Structure 1
Amino acid sequence: MIYKIRIILDAKEDIFRDIEIKAESTLEDFHNAITQAFGFLGEEMASFYTCDENWNQDEEIALFDMSEGASSVRLMNETFLEDILTRQTPKLIYVYDFLSMWTFYVELADIVENTEGHDYPNILFSFGELPESPPEKNFEADPNFDFDETFDRYDDLDFEENWN
């Protein structure tokens, strides 16, 4: 089977690539296809993250194990695309270069039969140019969040006030 996948840069302007790749490819193969499609050298650390329907990040699948033995990390070269990306779970988050934080939304668009004579992975469509530097992230707190209201509920917390 062939997956048709859209990879969208997390930016205000539309910048995306549509790629088709074999479902039995590893996430490392997919990572290489993404870096080539967007013109990266592929020399930086990267990770995929499973996520829910609202793009809330979940489990990391890393290019290399950097955990220093603290816990086991799923690795891209041991994880197959068809085991992670399905019709029931069609979304992933991809982060390339943890210093620059190039962040992409990955979404399964279609699953089709293999076409004889085609090489995979294959770029189906390319839209927009990658900027010189990654788009800035907005990490500001929600201006509507009321911190005073949170402290008013202090008595509802489940611990003893004078614990030390």
Structure 2
Amino acid sequence: MIYTFRFISDEEESFIMDVNINHDQTFLQLHQIIQERLGFDPGQLTSFFVSNESWEKLEEITLLDMGTEQAHIMENTPIEMFYHQKNERLLYVFDYLAERLLFGSIVRLIDAESPIPLPTVSKLEGITPEQSLHCDFEDDEFLMSDHDEDSEAFGYEDELPEDLEDFNPEPGNDY
């Protein structure tokens, strides 16, 4: 049985990706084709979540063994363990820090053998979401420390105001 999962993004409305995969292939193989085709860094932590019609997370399938008894690991978990019919849903979390994800659903089931090796991407359209949100730490705004802001706000740069020069916060010191 060949499943076609369609993935969309809530960040990029034009993004659509269809992935064809055999029912007995693993979530790791699905993860790898997504990473490869979207140009993502495969070293990032990711997970799939089995979800319901409301996109609520039900079961997690992790990239790495997290050491829990009930864990499902991508490498050992075939797609058919959770998916059997059209319209079943899953979430693919590709940026854990910002909780960004792709929404996936089975759009087609074909009861046949594929003439080409699977998994494969049969459709990729629109703007691909960035794998991680970037902050430009080279920007002067990010290089300014709180001390720099205080210095500007109170009118001193590298010197303490005269009334603070003798300040010594040690116990027993009378101010």
Same fold by TM-score greater than 0.5: yes
For each residue in 1:41-87, what CA deviation from the matched residue of structure 2 results, as whole angstroms up to 9, or x when unmatched? Answer: 211111111111111111111111234x5x43111111100111221
- Aligned residue number for residue 150 of structure 1: none
The amino acid of 2:6's aligned partner reads R
* Equivalent-residue separation in structure 2 for 1:24 and 1:133 (angstroms): 28
For each residue in 1:108-160, what CA deviation from the matched residue of structure 2 results, as whole angstroms up to 9, or x when unmatched? Answer: 111111232x121111111112244658xxxxxxxxxxxxxxxxxxxxxxxxx
CA contact (8 A) 2:25 2:79 kept: yes
Shift of 1:95: 0.3
Which secondary structure does the structure 2 equivalent of 1:35 belong to? helix
- Aligned residue number for residue 97 of structure 2: 99
* Equivalent-residue separation in structure 2 for 1:99 and 1:125 (angstroms): 28
Runs of 4+ off more than 6 Å: none
Structure 1 residues without counterparts, runs of 5 or longer: 136-164
* Equivalent-residue separation in structure 2 for 1:50 and 1:130 (angstroms): 22
Q: Aligned ranges for residues 22-61 of structure 1 at < 5 Å?
A: 22-61=22-61
* Equivalent-residue separation in structure 1 for 2:84 and 2:106 (angstroms): 7
Q: Which is worse superposed, 124-133 or 48-57?
A: 124-133
Question: TM-score if structure 1 supplies the norm length?
Answer: 0.72
- Aligned residue number for residue 113 of structure 2: 114
Q: 1:40 to 1:55 in 2, by over 3 A?
A: same
Which secondary structure does the structure 2 equivalent of 1:43 belong to? coil
Shift of 1:103: 0.3
* Equivalent-residue separation in structure 2 for 1:30 and 1:132 (angstroms): 19
Aligned residues: 132
The amino acid of 2:8's aligned partner reads I
* Equivalent-residue separation in structure 1 for 2:5 and 2:102 (angstroms): 12
Which residue among 116, 124, 127 is the counterpart of 2:125?
127
The amino acid of 2:54's aligned partner reads N
Calculate percent identity across the aligned residue pairs.
27
Q: Which is worse superposed, 125-134 or 95-104?
A: 125-134
Q: Aligned ranges for residues 12-27 of structure 1 at < 5 Å?
A: 13-27=13-27
Structure 2 residues without counterparts, runs of 5 or longer: 134-175
* Equivalent-residue separation in structure 1 for 2:86 and 2:127 (angstroms): 31
Give the structure with higher Rg (CA).
2
